A and B are shown apart, each in its own frame.
Chain A
Amino acid sequence: MPKDGGIGASTTRREDVRFLTGKGKYTADINTFGQAAATFVRSTVANGVIKSIDTSAAAEMPGVLAIFTGEDFVDVGGNPAGWLINSRDGEPMKEPKRPVLAHGKVRHVGDAYAAVIAETEQQARDAAEEIIADIEELPAIIDMAAALAGDAYVHDEIGTNQCFDWGWIEDNRAATDEAIKNAPHVTTLELINNRLVPNAMEPRASIGTYDAAGDSYLLQTTSQNPHLTRLLISAFVMGIPENKLTVIAPDVGGGFGSKIYHYGEEALVLAAAKKVGRPVKWVADRTESFLTDAHGRDHVTKIELACEKDGTFIAFRTETLANVGAYLSNFSTATPTFLHGTLMAGNYTVPNVYVNLKAVFTNTAPVDAYRGAGRPEATYSIERVIDMAARELNIDPVEIRRKNFIKPDQFPFGTAAGLEYDSGNYDALMDKMEAIVDRKAFEERRKQSEANGKMRGLGINAYVEACGIAPSNLVGVLGSRVGLYDAATVRVNATGNLSVMVGAHSHGQGHETVFPQIVGEMLGIDPQSVDIVHGDTSKIPFGMGTYGSRSLAVCGSAVVRATEKIIAKAKKIAAHMLEASADDLEFTDGQFTVKGTDKSVSFGEVALKAYIPHEFPIEDIEPGLEETAFYDPANFTYPSGAYACEVEVDPETGKVTIERFTACDDFGNVMNPMIVSGQVQGGVVQGIGQALLENTTYDENGQLLSASYMDYVMPRADDLPFIAVDHSDGTPCTHNPLGAKGCGEGGAIGSPPTVVNAVIDALQSGGKNVTHIDMPLTPARVWAAMNNA
């Protein structure tokens, strides 16, 4: 039994049984006796002054229990940004208040300025239509450059639309400028990293319940990190003591970042539950998801790569405008800075890197971390400009990358962007990728495509990213207002099965399968006897949640540490049972054995003893078998990859078809290869979506033109190729006990530039002098680029 289903086994995901048979229990599935419904009244204009809100007619509508407006929340706190960024001049960033409901002004289409609580959702919606708001529309501030240049502000009280002007690393600026000035070759590229709508399958939903007896609250909500939500509501927004607030995130149908954050709707259902004395439930419709879930990306960047004529990199310099939307979402200031600027050396030994990034308020939905969060933006800029430089210098795109790679014997490697990469072997990944792609045969395939009237291109890419965030001490210095450890409690029950309470919330990742694999392996027991408990602040010690590919590297490490403590205590009990010294025991395959003898007890017998402590050395050992560990990593983990994409372009229509995709990743030690492959494939699909399909567009009035699936293109099966995935032979992470690196985002980070590089290669091969097209590379855009070239 022991090794079966342990670390490294492709155990099928146990949670899928309930997901696939309709037995998952999501927030919207929860119905409580007496529950009332909330609906929100949202701005239809992007920017406007709230002159008055007349709720009197609405209040008379059938079933209405209460109506809230921004007035009701002027005295409660704002929803804060979790990371303080200082500008280059040392000034702290601008932090305008983000209220529960808009007050004074509405700042984006979808901004909620009132909420109606009624017996039924239908009645709440009917009443909402009777609310008469006099909102004076102002010109919308949409374009970032115009926002910085103009004198109209999203937040009048800060007198600017610039949140901060950040330099990384400011001390390297002069040297980088100098290096670029003197360089024999400089490639310059202006590009846009397109805004994305997260589109989790499950819309956000929240249920607030108030218990007058204990003056306590329960929030059931769609969250990737219930503890952080509790902390934000308690410490910043509503002041409910943490011990009077339980937050439960039950099954959650995808988040991709958008459900990390605390949103005003959560605070509202809690306040409403207290006021009306009944549970209050809100479920977003899809339009609300489009308009109000935190969006991703949205950078406008100019990047320069300076190099020698032989392709040796001398410097990367970028200037970026990053859209933060109308309000600062919780991670919105960390995402474009420390999750982006610090990665701007890529996989390379380049000696000079400088990043200038200005974060800009606009009358659009807030922008925050979305799968990859900052690192896709970094990789895209770097890998696109490298491809362009290779073409200008007539160097093979693989060769130019290899020439500049950090070599295996250079790890640990301190990059010019300030990170210390612990391990990696970028050449080995390239080797693997080239073997799978079979580049020699590519020319044959290209001829075939040409014979069919199509242009064929091959795009390649290398990426490294920093995830599993990260040491609390380091992030504290960098401005984080929270720590980034995680926690686990391993509870061995008397009958030998286990409940493991983990801080990482699982919403599709497979924790319920993988964490038991680890515990099972360590204890030499059947992983099926281990169950994971997550997503409930009343049951779990603490947790910083699931994002930044941190669940395994950080929370998984906490599970390891807690399990080690279990083994240590169990060993003491076993020693007592075997009348031996603990030092003389060895623990293998679930048996404690006195070395060199056949005297042994099983882990299950020890567990029973711990809870029925007859003849127990009560003076030395406490009864029970339960241990908690908090794990704070020493560094980020640094997954890396080499990707390739082959496309065909139809010269008549501009339509791009992806013919092949290869993803070779280094995730260190892999716990469950099947799940990792799924993570890579899912990430690649999202990256293909960004590269070819997903086109979030606000018009000049701030209306979201792509606010439904009739206009927003999600990748579908027939848009996608077979994706060849390889993550064997990784270089282990050197600082966590599993040797594991995060795998949740690599696919989404590595794929967009790969696809774009391939399309440019195809167009060039077809004689079109197109050097860049901004994502998404829709047929219309490709056609326009071809015809302007």
Chain B
Amino acid sequence: MYAFEIERPSTIADAIKALSEEDAQALGGGQTLIPTLKQRLAMPATLVSLTGIGEMQGVCIGDNGEVCVGGATNHATVAAETAASYPGLSGLAGNIGDPAVRNRGTVGGSLANNDPSACYPAAALGSGATIITNTRQIAADDYFQGMFETALEEGEVITEVRFPVPEKSHYEKFVQPASRFALVGVFVAKYADGVRVAVTGASENGVYRWSEAETALSSDFSKDALDGLTVPADGMIADLHGSSDYRAHLVKVMTGRAVTAAA
């Protein structure tokens, strides 16, 4: 680790001001950023901690019935507080990492980081969520732009995420055995106007929607509806833990299991 300063603002406005300084960086739960710093892979001059900002904390139900999660809310809180309102989201949050990770890692940090194997991106994309920042609202479909790439600008902060609540949903994760991130994770959500299927862990372009499955499941929300579909291995991640063929295969298996669990 290199030496750095730390700021602990209590309002979004103060945080944005602090982040406008040179080499300042937002700190959520630190579950990704702190290990990076320990390895001396990043050298911010100042870390601006977001977890003390009241406006960015907690879960509530919005005017249109959507679940609204403050950008600095940790996974354990999301798991506990959406258990009744959005069980699919709660299940996903409650299965991230271990208790220590869940009590620190935040939804904003996870979405800002957009790790290709992270779970939250699947929930956000699979729910058609809206990412709210200090300057604008971004539809999930526009937000994720490839591995570790997002629509966020320099210094922009995720203050809130709004998840429309589906009729049925489930996140099925096949864990990478070491990190326990998703080797392949599939979030399936059935809304009145159709089914959304978001896949994480598999693609070299990060989280994506499997549109053929969405079409098939929108007319028949059952595992069997996937029977005729194939997932090409092109563009799938290949690493120590699985070939691209294996990941492509798992996409279908996990989607089927998610549908069965949701139905």
> In the complex, A23→B17 CA distance in Å?
45
Interface flag for A528 (CB, 8 Å): no
Interface flag for A32 (CB, 8 Å): no
Whether the pair A780, B243 counts as a contact (CB closer than 8 A) is yes
Whether the pair A697, B246 counts as a contact (CB closer than 8 A) is no
Whether the pair B178, A784 counts as a contact (CB closer than 8 A) is no
Interface flag for A563 (CB, 8 Å): no
Residues of B within 8 A of A779 (CB): 174, 177, 242, 246
> In the complex, A693→B179 CA distance in Å?
12
Q: Produce 1/0 per residue, B214-231, CB < 8 A to A.
A: 000000000000000000
Residues of B within 8 A of A713 (CB): 177-178
Interface flag for A107 (CB, 8 Å): no
CB closest chain-B residue, reference A652 = B253
> In the complex, A693→B246 CA distance in Å?
17
Cross-chain contact of B178 among A287, A711, A783 (Cβ < 8 A): A711
Cross-chain contact of A710 among B1, B178, B245, B249 (Cβ < 8 A): B178
Residues of A within 8 A of B250 (CB): 653
Residues of A within 8 A of B245 (CB): 784
Cross-chain contact of A780 among B1, B2, B242 (Cβ < 8 A): B242
Closest CB in chain B relative to A453 CB, distance in Å: 11
Residues of B within 8 A of A710 (CB): 178-179
CB closest chain-A residue, reference B179 = A710
Whether the pair B177, A693 counts as a contact (CB closer than 8 A) is yes
Whether the pair A705, B240 counts as a contact (CB closer than 8 A) is yes
Interface flag for A712 (CB, 8 Å): yes
Whether the pair B253, A125 counts as a contact (CB closer than 8 A) is no
Closest CB in chain A relative to B91 CB, distance in Å: 17
A contact patch SS = loop
Q: Produce 1/0 per residue, B173-199, CB < 8 A to A.
A: 010011100000000000000000000
Residues of B within 8 A of A693 (CB): 177
Interface flag for B241 (CB, 8 Å): yes
> In the complex, A200→B5 CA distance in Å?
34
Interface flag for B3 (CB, 8 Å): yes
> In the complex, A453→B80 CA distance in Å?
33
Residues of B within 8 A of A705 (CB): 239-240
Residues of B within 8 A of A287 (CB): 39
Q: Produce 1/0 per residue, A418-452, CB < 8 A to B.
A: 00000000000000000000000000000000000
Number of interface residues of A (CB under 8 A): 25
Cross-chain contact of A125 among B40, B174, B239, B249 (Cβ < 8 A): B40
Whether the pair B240, A697 counts as a contact (CB closer than 8 A) is yes
Whether the pair A122, B179 counts as a contact (CB closer than 8 A) is no
Residues of A within 8 A of B39 (CB): 287
Whether the pair A711, B243 counts as a contact (CB closer than 8 A) is no
Residues of B within 8 A of A695 (CB): 240
Q: Produce 1/0 per residue, A259-278, CB < 8 A to B.
A: 00000000000000000000
CB closest chain-B residue, reference A125 = B40
Interface centre among B40, B243, B249 (most CB of A within 10 A): B249
- Contact A711:B179 (CB < 8 A) given known A125-B40, A705-B240: yes
Closest CB in chain B relative to A695 CB, distance in Å: 6
Interface flag for A734 (CB, 8 Å): no
- Contact A122:B241 (CB < 8 A) given known A652-B253, A784-B246: no
Whether the pair B246, A780 counts as a contact (CB closer than 8 A) is yes
Interface flag for A411 (CB, 8 Å): no
Interface centre among A654, A714, A779 (most CB of B within 10 A): A779
Q: Produce 1/0 per residue, A109-130, CB < 8 A to B.
A: 0000000000000100110010
- Contact A709:B178 (CB < 8 A) given known A652-B253, A780-B246: yes
- Contact A711:B240 (CB < 8 A) given known A652-B253, A653-B174, A783-B246: yes
Closest CB in chain A relative to B113 CB, distance in Å: 14
Closest CB in chain A relative to B111 CB, distance in Å: 20
Whether the pair B243, A712 counts as a contact (CB closer than 8 A) is no
> In the complex, A714→B239 CA distance in Å?
18
Beta-carbon contacts under 8 Å, A117-165 to B: 122, 125-126, 129
> In the complex, A654→B250 CA distance in Å?
10
Residues of A within 8 A of B240 (CB): 695, 697, 705-706, 711
CB closest chain-A residue, reference B180 = A716
Residues of A within 8 A of B40 (CB): 125, 129
Interface centre among B1, B177, B246 (most CB of A within 10 A): B177
Interface flag for A172 (CB, 8 Å): no
Closest CB in chain B relative to A650 CB, distance in Å: 9
Residues of B within 8 A of A714 (CB): 178
Residues of B within 8 A of A126 (CB): 2
Q: Produce 1/0 per residue, A679-721, CB < 8 A to B.
A: 0000000000000010101000000011001111110000000
Beta-carbon contacts under 8 Å, A770-789 to B: 778-780, 783-784
Q: Produce 1/0 per residue, A637-675, CB < 8 A to B.
A: 000000000000000111100000000000000000000
> In the complex, A325→B125 CA distance in Å?
46
> In the complex, A780→B241 CA distance in Å?
7
Residues of B within 8 A of A655 (CB): 174
Closest CB in chain B relative to A326 CB, distance in Å: 22
> In the complex, A654→B1 CA distance in Å?
40
Whether the pair A784, B243 counts as a contact (CB closer than 8 A) is yes
Whether the pair B253, A653 counts as a contact (CB closer than 8 A) is yes
> In the complex, A712→B253 CA distance in Å?
25
> In the complex, A784→B253 CA distance in Å?
15
CB closest chain-A residue, reference B254 = A653
Residues of B within 8 A of A784 (CB): 243, 245-246
- Contact A712:B242 (CB < 8 A) given known A652-B253, A653-B253, A783-B249: no
> In the complex, A705→B253 CA distance in Å?
27
Whether the pair B249, A122 counts as a contact (CB closer than 8 A) is no
Q: Produce 1/0 per residue, B19-48, CB < 8 A to A.
A: 000000000000000000001100000000
CB closest chain-A residue, reference B256 = A652
Whether the pair A712, B178 counts as a contact (CB closer than 8 A) is yes
Q: Produce 1/0 per residue, A725-754, CB < 8 A to B.
A: 000000000000000000000000000000
Closest CB in chain A relative to B119 CB, distance in Å: 15
Beta-carbon contacts under 8 Å, A254-303 to B: 287
Residues of A within 8 A of B3 (CB): 122
> In the complex, A654→B184 CA distance in Å?
14
Closest CB in chain A relative to B124 CB, distance in Å: 23
Residues of A within 8 A of B1 (CB): 122
Beta-carbon contacts under 8 Å, A235-268 to B: none
Residues of B within 8 A of A712 (CB): 178
Residues of A within 8 A of B179 (CB): 709-711
Beta-carbon contacts under 8 Å, B1-19 to A: 1-3
Residues of A within 8 A of B177 (CB): 693, 713, 778-779
Residues of B within 8 A of A709 (CB): 178-179
Closest CB in chain A relative to B62 CB, distance in Å: 36
Residues of A within 8 A of B243 (CB): 780, 784
Residues of B within 8 A of A711 (CB): 178-179, 240-241
Residues of B within 8 A of A125 (CB): 40
> In the complex, A602→B13 CA distance in Å?
81
> In the complex, A271→B249 CA distance in Å?
57
Closest CB in chain A relative to B254 CB, distance in Å: 9
Closest CB in chain A relative to B147 CB, distance in Å: 15
Closest CB in chain A relative to B161 CB, distance in Å: 25
Closest CB in chain B relative to A685 CB, distance in Å: 15
Closest CB in chain A relative to B250 CB, distance in Å: 7
CB closest chain-A residue, reference B3 = A122
Closest CB in chain B relative to A347 CB, distance in Å: 33
19 further contact pairs, Cβ within 8 A, besides A710-B179, A711-B178? A125-B40, A126-B2, A129-B40, A652-B253, A654-B246, A655-B174, A693-B177, A695-B240, A706-B178, A709-B179, A710-B178, A711-B179, A711-B240, A711-B241, A713-B177, A778-B241, A779-B177, A783-B249, A784-B246
The 7 closest A-B CB pairs, nearest first, are A780-B242, A713-B178, A710-B179, A713-B177, A780-B246, A652-B253, A711-B178
Q: Would you mind naming 20 contact pairs between A and B with Cβ atoms under 8 Å apart? A: A122-B3, A129-B40, A653-B174, A654-B246, A695-B240, A706-B178, A709-B178, A709-B179, A710-B178, A710-B179, A711-B179, A711-B241, A713-B178, A714-B178, A779-B242, A780-B246, A783-B246, A783-B249, A784-B243, A784-B245
